[in-house]
Structure 1
Amino acid sequence: MLPQTRRALLRRLAGGQAEGRAPSMMGAVVRDGRAVWTGARSSVEGEVPHPDVQYRIGSLTKTFVAVLVMRLRDEGLLRLADPVGKHLEGTPVPDATVAQLLAHSAGLAAETGGPWWERTPGTLRPEPADLFGERPQRLPVGRWHHYSNPGYALLGALVERVRGGVPWNEVLRREVLEPLGMGRTTLEPETPHAGGWAVHPWADVMLPEPAQDTGLMAPAGQLWSTLEDLCRWAAFLLRGDERVLSASSLAEMRRPAVPPEESAGQSGYGLGLQLLRREGRPLFGHSGSMPGFLASLWADAEEDVAGIVLANCTSGPAVSAIAIDLAGIVSEHEPRIPEPWRPQPGPLDPELLALTGPWYWGANPHVLRLRAERALELTPLSGQGRSSRFRAEEDGTWTGLNGYYEGETMRVVRERDGSVSHLDLGTFVFTRGPYEPTAPVPGGVDPGGWRP
């Protein structure tokens, strides 16, 4: 980072810590897959905290659980459309689907039955059925986002059940944390770690907060982590790692699954990730809170940048706003330099190259471009129309990856002599000329042709 960028980052962190009256605060920026800046204000046990000091990260835990569930899906051990009761017995909401639990759209109660779960031991809720009160279902299923902490407790139990009884946090350590080098992310605090505090709203005095083992509720928010580990986590969420989860599955997680709650101020919720827009930029990430701690991680996939903030107080600092601002400062002060253009490697397929260039949907001109690994990109030339990227399949077709044509099949239709007749994209006919009379345009083309 340039000196003026580092100063702007430190100023934002320092202002957030002072205005929020946090006993300590740490921040980081991740770019291009690595930490490019870290900062700290105030002290933990009399010392300025360093990136290896643990803080409790609250609901950021949910992003880890969501990745575990997506791994099960990618391995074919469950489907997102499966009702949770298919895999997990004893739940009072067996018909809620895995996807609905991930997206908080199952209409489940926001909190557990019984006492305040964040401040009481998990022994009070020994079974999944104990997570809910008399009315586990509070809203219609699948209609909109309603945040549910017990829903993620069910997902943790689901991971354990599908993995043959291995505790979810052990599955997490073995399948995610170790491959990513995140050895300081744990279920219980390990030295060195910050203590959690409540700060009096009207006086500059503090009260220590308890740190309970929440048992079955732990997947909703119990993990402890460090700034260093969370930088690795942010880089993974931005880029993927085939040892853990592919970039395509992570991209699926950050697509809106349901509209937001009216008061949420978000653009929606994906599969385990909060979504919002800031000054026109789509962001994804998660905030977290537990008694004595606040945490936030927000990332911009287009800029390949993320901001992270940790604080050891129950309330006060606007950690999400600070994390977003940290990432935004870097994007503004030091815009990304485009990657250099390079020709595609490997031999060129002449038939594939011949497909490129202008195509017409009716009279609307489009251009088809060849990308790496036989991928194609269709873009309207008039500025109006539907664009999409397409992945090449082994059977000679292409599958849409985004936009209106996501999941749709595009195929090249040939004449008997092997020449190209047209493109069939989900039954839409694309021809080399506008309404070519020789092409099989549904409804036919007027034999009189174009006229003044």
Structure 2
Amino acid sequence: MTIAQSTEFPRPEPVGHGPGAVGTPDEFAELLPQTRRALLHRLAVGQAEGRAPSMTGAVVRDGRAVWTGARGAVAGEAPHGDVQYRIGSLTKTFVAVLVLRLRDEGLLRLEDPVGRHLEGTPVPDATIAQLLSHSSGLAAEPRGPWWERTAGALRSEPADLFDERPQRLPAGRRHHYSNVGYALLGALVERLRDGVPWGEVLRSEVLEPLGMDRTTLRPEKPYASGWAVHPWADALLPEPAEDTGLMGPAGQLWSTLQDLCRWAAFLLRGDARVLGAASLAEMRTPAVPPESGTWDAGYGMGVQLLRRDGRLLVGHQGSMPGFLAALWADTEEDVAGVVLTNCTSGPAAGALAADLTGIVLAHEPRIPEPWRPLPGPLDPELLALTGPWYWGANPHALRLRAERGLELTPLSGEGRSSRFRAEEDGTWTGLDGYYAGETLRVRRDRDGAVSHLDLGTFVFTRGPYEPSAPVPGGVDPEGWRV
């Protein structure tokens, strides 16, 4: 096999789709030459040290691909952004979006046992949320021969996936990665979409709206062949590329660097045509304690979570015989890294994808959005609520945000911060932190003046232990002492 030199692709094009998904190019859109060289160097080191026949990588920032590069060769030529690679378990992120779409349409609840919607499964009590987060306790792999290297025809119905002990651990108590769980989720999508195969549902509901026309169940030219690399010699062995049938939702998809840049832009910014922002944020929320017992890594609803260099990354890694893939996105910095390679083992694709994002942030820290005043008109009653409030003697600040939202922040360095969404009934619902899901109410006295804030029974007053407010337990009549 001829090995081509490192290359950078031509100037990347915008990859986002839909309202709010495309970053507008500006004077900071182009990466500096030293940043591009650092990215290409990291990709080249990853390919050489990992002994990969070929490797491609990309960085997405502000909704568009800002750098793409390649190393090695596919069919004797340097790979480009339209060459398909198998992406393995990155498939699970797509399946999770399909399930969340069903939930948002009211066709299921995440708390539902899968047996309520899918007949014939030997694990009817596992909930949909548990399947999404790998916390159902199901077996990691299906019964029978190595599913990734054998024909999917060996498993024709969900019952074929399980042996006599389908559940290995108690449900809901710990993370235990389960490929068969995602096979069930794919069958669930088909059941609730009137028998339409999950791959067709994915194409019509997700891939077409996002412009991902090179993401498919089976490879379509041009595509890379999968290889195993001999551990003690520079020699290659071709790997089979089986259609995994019922196990397809666990790792069947093929995609390209360009399409995965579009997917990264979606995971970073969302697209209302595919999945709402609240549901996308729900996917990124840790579901159960991670398998390792630390919070350096975890799992949400269909996405892996990784803490690296003080940053939280979301995405997924994938592997199938002959292929490795990784996508890591930093939603706070609006940047993502993607890596694809065609060998079974060797390259640290996940670390490399994370490093690509870190290189960009180290060389070119993100330029913050310019401050802008809230769009009017301004509600004077809401404005009057802002400022200092006290939980007991602990000072907090209440700030007004967009769309009548509120943010409560402790001023003493200790306390609980939360953002709140305005509701139609005049209350606010906590979005994060300790008060997530809790209700914030403005309480008034008999004259209609604001008396205090009631936040899940916690009383916030305008002064520390304000005597005129209904502080639980009362306020000592002698007041403060010296």
TM-score, structure 1 normalization: 0.99
Alignment of 1:7-406 (within 5 A): 7-262=37-292, 266-406=296-436
The letter of the residue matching 1:78 is: L
Structure 1 residue 284, shift from structure 2 partner: 1.0
Q: Give the CA deviation at 1:266.
A: 4.6
Contact 2:409–2:416 (CA under 8 A) maintained in structure 1: yes
1:346 and 1:183 map into 2 onto residues whose CA distance is: 41
Report deviation, 1:262. Answer: 2.3
- Aligned ranges for residues 414-429 of structure 1 at < 5 Å? 414-429=444-459
**Shift of residue 418 of structure 1?**
1.4
Distance 2:69 2:116 in 1: 46
Q: CA deviation at 1:267?
A: 2.2
Identity of aligned residues (%): 83
User: Corresponding residue for 2:473?
Assistant: 443
Q: Deviations over 1:16-56 (max 9, x none)?
A: 00000000000000011110000000110111111000000
Contact 1:58-1:294 at 8 Å conserved across structures: yes
What is the CA–CA distance in structure 1 between the aligned matches of 2:453 and 2:162, rounded to whole Å? 54
1:265 Cα offset (Å): 8.4
Q: Distance in 2 between matches of 1:32 and 1:204?
A: 40
Contact 2:323 2:342 in 1 (8 A): yes
- Structure 1 residues 266, 169: CA separation in 2 closer, same or farther (over 3 Å shift)? farther
Question: Aligned-pair distance for 1:276?
Answer: 1.3
Q: Is the 8 A contact 1:44 1:194 kept in 2?
A: yes
What letter corresponds to residue 102 of structure 1 in structure 2?
A: L
Residues in 2 aligned to 1:231 and 1:310: alpha-carbon distance in whole angstroms: 12
SS in 1 for 2:248: helix
Distance change >3 Å, CA 304–CA 413, structure 1 → 2: same
Q: Which amino acid aligns with 2:180?
A: P
Match status 1:410 vs 2:453: no
How many residue pairs align between the two structures? 452
* Aligned mates of 1:209, 1:186 — CA distance in 2: 19
Deviation at 1:122, TM superposition (A): 0.8
Query: Deviation at 1:431?
Result: 0.5
CA contact (8 A) 1:58 1:290 kept: yes
The residue number in structure 1 matching 2:6 is none
**Within 1, Cα distance between the matches of 2:194 and 2:172?**
29
What is the distance in 2 between the residues matched to 1:170 and 1:263?
A: 38
**How big is each residue's C-alpha offset from its partner over 1:155-190, in whole Å with a ceiling of 9 and x where there is no partner?**
000000011101000000000000000000000000
Deviation per CA, 1:367-386: give whole Å up to 9, x if none. Answer: 11111111111101101101
CA contact (8 A) 1:259 1:267 kept: no
Contact 2:289/2:295 (<8 A) preserved: no
From the superposition, tell whether residues 165 and 248 of structure 1 become closer, same or farther in structure 2 (CA, over 3 Å). same
Question: C-alpha deviations, 1:55-114, integer Å up to 9, x for none?
Answer: 000000000000000111111110000000000001111100000000111111111100
Write out the 4+ residue segments of structure 1 that deviate beyond 2 Å after TM superposition: 262-267
Counterpart of 1:20 in structure 2: which amino acid?
Answer: G
Assess, with a 3 A threshold, how the Cα gap between structure 1 residues 264 and 108 changes in structure 2: closer, same or farther: farther
Distance 2:425 2:384 in 1: 19
- Displacement after TM superposition at 1:264 (Å): 9.0
Q: Which digits, 9 at most, give the CA deviation of each residue in 1:211-239, with x for residues without a partner?
A: 00110000000100000000000010111
Offset, 1:263: 8.3
After superposition, give the CA deviation of every residue in 1:268-295 in whole Å (9 maximum; x if it has no partner): 1111111111111111111000011000
TM superposition shift of 1:141:
1.0
Note closer, same or farther for the CA distance 1:124–1:263 as it changes in structure 2 (3 Å cut): farther
Distance 2:294 2:216 in 1: 29
Letter in 1 for 2:75: E
Report the Cα distance in structure 1 between the residues aligned to 2:277 and 2:403, rounded to whole angstroms: 16
Task: Give me the whole-angstrom Cα distance separating, in 2, the residues matched to 1:371 and 1:112.
Answer: 49
* Contact 1:266–1:274 under 8 Å retained in 2: no
> What code does the residue aligned with 1:30 have?
V
For residues 265 and 254 of structure 1, the distance between their equivalents in structure 2, rounded to whole angstroms, comes to 14
Deviations 1:336-367 (A, max 9, x none): 11111111112111111000011000100011
Normalization by structure 2: what TM-score? 0.93
Contact 2:296 2:308 in 1 (8 A): no
Amino acid at match of 1:234: A
Quickly say closer, same or farther: Cα 1:39–1:357, change in 2 above 3 A: same
* 2:96 partner amino acid: A
Distance in 2 separating the partners of 1:85 and 1:374: 41
**Structure 2 CA distance, aligned partners of 1:279 and 1:322?**
14
- Matches of 2:149 and 2:398 in 1, distance apart? 58
Root-mean-square deviation (CA, aligned residues, Å) is 1.0
Q: Is the 8 A contact 1:144 1:258 kept in 2?
A: yes
